Amino acid sequence: MSARALLLFACLTGACGPTITLTDDIDFTWDFGPTLTRFEDSLHGPYVRGTKMELYVSSSDDKQSFTGWTIASEDPSIISIAATTRDNLGLAANAQAVGAGITDIIVLDDRGKVVGRGHAEVGLPDRVELDAHGYLIVERPDEAPVEDARILEGGEATYMVRYYRGKQELHGNGVLTTGTVDGVIATPRTSFLFENREWLSITSTKQGAASLPLLVDRTPVNAVQIVTVDPTAIDGVALISQSEQGANDGDWFVALAQSYDSDGRRIFGVDYSWDIDGKALDTLGDLYRYEFKAGKWEMVTAKQGGHQDSLMIQSDAGYVDSTNHIGCAAGGGGASPLLVLGALLGVSLRRRRRR
């Protein structure tokens, strides 16, 4: 369970001191907004073993100096913490969940006195879940999990990675590796800034079924079935969109193109040609992102191998994109202009204080 880490100074003189908050940079919220968790008041455990994170301590007192303060772990074999640094916002320290178990992260003042603590739990998952990126984008998370990754030969499909121990979700990223399978290229990726997440991009050049081992912190957990098909397996295409109900001009929406085989099973890693009101667009991809404009109706169409689907939208501007683009990322991918803009805006945000 996530531990509340609201840390309070003792009321030694009859008047309570400032509120001290402890948090990490693990992102819980799928919102495409900047991941600015530094001034939240919670730790986002339980953590996946192997996860690296940044810990932050801040104060409701603008004049708190933090000189001589440190962040430490009561059990470094569970959470290891590097040297504490201080800036004009508070304290920060690099940490890693290195072993399964439960411990406390403590904050010590310049006299070595514990002025607060946060509860931290670390575990190793028994199941890795892959969620199709496109269904998260169009706000259908219940349809995102895949039991097998059915991928077009030569295509690339990207899935968000989630970790579970029984029914409990563990949090963190940067811990996934895969086994080696002939004809399959599996690339773990980590995004940051807007969505601090773990991803797996898969390309397969060999038709048929294969089992791809998934390892967490170098430990085998489970495997995902990769089924590679050729273009003739595509039996239909459907456009899946977000609801425009209640939208305001300038809001951005997404339409997702999805292929199916003759048994109604989803095929990923497919690029589509697009047109707007019969006018062909230059870019291939499986997403169409558009800016809402009330009353400005357009027909958007996605086509692949003789199959197509169309959808009426309200828009006067948009562009083709791909679910393989995850924004600012390590291990593949790049930064889109919107993400860079968000980073610049984030820098200008004033520090949030708790009074």
278-330 residue pLDDT tens: 999 999 999 999 999 999 999 999 999 999 999 999 999 999 999 999 865 44
Give CA 206 to chain center in angstroms.
29
Give CA 73 to chain center in angstroms.
26
The pLDDT value recorded for residue 65 is 86
Burial 306-342 (b: 16+ CB within 10 A, else e): ebbbebebbbeebebbbbbbbbbbeebbebeeebeeb
| Contact of 125 with 198, CB cutoff 8 Å | no
Could you count the other beta carbons within 10 Å of the beta carbon of residue 192? Answer: 19
Out of 13-27, 32-46, 185-199, least confident range: 32-46
Tell me, yes or no, whether 117 and 71 share the same domain: yes
Is residue 353 in some structural domain? no
Helix (H, G, I), strand (E, B), or coil: what is residue 137?
helix
347 pLDDT band, cuts 50/70/90, is: very low
Is residue 56 in some structural domain? yes
Is residue 333 in some structural domain? yes
* Alpha carbons 3 and 8: distance in angstroms, whole number: 15
Which range scores top for mean pLDDT: 16-20, 112-116, 183-187? Answer: 183-187
Tokens of 251: 């809001």
Mean pLDDT score of the chain: 85
Neighbour-count burial of 108, counting CB atoms closer than 10 A to its CB (0-12 exposed, 13-18 middle, 19+ buried)? middle
Tell me, yes or no, whether 221 and 333 share the same domain: yes
Please determine, for residue 214, whether its predicted confidence score (pLDDT) is greater than 80.
Answer: yes
Q: For position 179, which CATH number holds?
A: 2.60.40.10
Sign for the pseudo-dihedral over CA of 162, 163, 169, 171: negative
Residue with the larger pLDDT of the pair 173 and 329: 173
The pLDDT value recorded for residue 350 is 27
| Contact of 214 with 225, CB cutoff 8 Å | no
pTM value is: 0.84
Tell me, yes or no, whether 222 and 236 share the same domain: no
Q: How many domains does the chain have?
A: 3
Q: For position 248, which CATH number holds?
A: 2.60.40
